[in-house]
Amino acid sequence: MSKALLLENIDPVAVDALTAAGYAVETRRGALEPAELVAALDGVALLGIRSKTQVTAEVLRQCPELVAVGAFCIGTNQIDLAAAAASGVAVFNAPYSNTRSVVELAIAEIISLARRLLDRDKALHAGTWDKSASGSHEIRGRTLGIVGYGNIGSQLSVLAEALGMRVLYYDLEDKLALGNAERCGSLDELLARAEAVTLHVDGRGGNAGLFGAEQFARMRPRSLFLNLSRGFVVDHEALREHILSGHIAGAAVDVFPEEPAEQGDAFDSVLRGLPNVILTPHVGGSTQEAQHDIGRFVAGKLVDYLASGTTTLSVNLPTVALHGRSVERFGLLHRNVPGVLARVDALVGEHGLNVDGQVLATRGQLGYVVTDVSAELPPGLLAALRALPESVRLTIHGPLRTA
């Protein structure tokens, strides 16, 4: 029985889906360091992680039995995608499943910061009745600046506008505005106009240090700041200074440059204890609804890949989906050079089989061809396909069958 390993407290629906597909599933609550991960992956075909476990090139090199990795989250910067592709390991994530959860948290935090609910709550818990409108504002009529107009940023745009906010956004790509949102030509333009700035950028390396002292200084006095994207994007020392000076009236931070590996571990930050600052432990997408949907979606992608070779929404392999089914199916991931398809088909013919269905796609240096044939695959054909100089990985697609 093929094995699957799920780390970091992935929703049980994923365990159910993989078990129903015939996998022996092991779960662990926390993340694993690379050396621990290599030991745990002995004999494992499918790995499921969230944001903490690092799947490095060295881990992939030492785990040749690993076939696919599921990132049960949005980001994939914790995985060496190029090394995974070169090793023939498919990677899937959940780019949409927790979008609504993150957006709802952002809306809740914008309202909380504008109303200074933290200060009111703290005073009342301390026994002080401070019934005052001082520093408390509606968000209706205020201007929200969204940095990063992808799945989360664009949905936030729609909900914020429905609440009466004016919406500006900035994105490196030319994204279509939704509703009455207005695209800014530069980040500086957005910072000069927005009364609340929220970051929703991806984990690409170029975003490291995106927001520092210079950007905070360009924000309007007494504006609000939120980061629910990536911890390494923001200079927290600079944010602290601007909060203490009063230039930033309030902030909400859900992600940090360094985060504890497991629940219950100690946490420290220069932002602790600051007035009107909401700190949450990377829970933007952590609602029961979102985690259930992520577990269902990513587990389904992993099962589909092993069963049919489908790589739709894979973040590192060519996109292939061969519909229908013949007697046998195999997928060959190979170096993207001319003539591979012809050689594959010639080998199939030499072993007395017909090609009943076939799809080829390429992506950068890789090609991926999925082929249906008319009879059982003879061992000689499999050996010949693996021996092709361009071959990266050969997989026989069906219930728990790899080669």
Burial class, 391, CB count within 10 angstroms (exposed 0-12 / middle 13-18 / buried 19+): middle
DSSP for 270-293 reads: TTTT-TTEEE-SS-TT-SHHHHHH
Q: Establish whether 236 is a catalytic residue.
A: no
Catalytic residue among 282, 329, 334, 393: 282
Catalytic residue among 104, 182, 189, 259: 259
Measure CA 19 to chain center.
24
Q: Establish whether 296 is a catalytic residue.
A: no
Q: Return the axis-axis angle of helices 288-308 and 12-20, rounded to nearest 10°.
A: 20
DSSP for 92-103 reads: E--SSTTHHHHH
The token pair that represents 308 in the structure block = 């049919």
What is the number of H-type helices and E-type strands within the chain?
13, 16
Q: Return the axis-axis angle of helices 99-115 and 151-162, rounded to nearest 10°.
A: 50
The token pair that represents 41 in the structure block = 């992956």
Residue 300 has φ and ψ, to the nearest 5°, of: -60, -40
Per the listing, tokens 């799809």 go with: 359
Strand partners, 47: 5, 69
Catalytic residue among 100, 115, 200, 230: 230
SS3 234: strand
Per the listing, tokens 């429905």 go with: 162
Rg of the chain on CA atoms, in Å: 25
Please state, as a whole number, how many other Cβ atoms lie within 10 Å of the Cβ of residue 294: 28
Amino acid at 356: D
Please say whether the beta carbons of 199 and 211 come within 8 A: yes
87 Cβ contact list (under 8 Å, min separation 6): 60, 61, 64, 66, 392, 393
The token pair that represents 178 in the structure block = 């939704």
Q: Establish whether 242 is a catalytic residue.
A: no
Instruction: Give the residue among 213, 206, 195, 207 at the shortest CA–CA distance from 231.
Output: 207
Instruction: Give the residue among 153, 158, 164, 160 at the shortest CA–CA distance from 178.
Output: 158
Rounded Cα–Cα distance for residues 67 and 90 (Å): 7
Catalytic residue IDs: 230, 259, 282
